[in-house]
Amino acid sequence: MADQHRTPDRIALRGIRAHGHHGVYAFERERGQVFRCDAVLELDTVAAAAGDDLRKTVNYAELAKGLYSVLASEPVNLLETLAQRLADVCLAYPLVDAVEITVHKPQAELGVPFDDVSVSIRRERA
């Protein structure tokens, strides 16, 4: 049984990129733009490390493909909605206790110079 006071182990995937058509404006839906996401998973990796067993952790190559698919697929209006869909992909892995997702939209049209727009959410397994 895991120590409840131990800091959770984390697996991080950063900078996953895909061309998507998310946004509320017609021009965003038509031409699309690059979206990026970062995912930080909280899980217990003790069993995986002890047995050197991929089946007892999250295969991050498989997860990356799932996150990419969400970024590149069905358009949504809000980054908040996109972030939730990405969190749902992560929480579909039974070993994941919690996830923090950040969605970046660096090519948003704000009318002023900027580096990035992002939305971050944290979700825990119910």
Phi/psi-derived region of residue 32, left when phi > 0, alpha when psi is between -120 and 50, beta in every other case: left
Q: How far apart are CA 47 and CA 71, in angstroms?
A: 31
Rounded CA separation 89/70 (Å): 8
Q: Which of 105, 107, 109, 121 is catalytic?
A: 105
Q: Judge whether 56 counts as a catalytic residue.
A: no
* CB-CB neighbours of 60 under 10 Å: 15
d(CA 41, CA 96): 6
Closest CA to 125 of 85, 91, 84, 100: 91
Q: Give me the active site residues, please.
A: 105
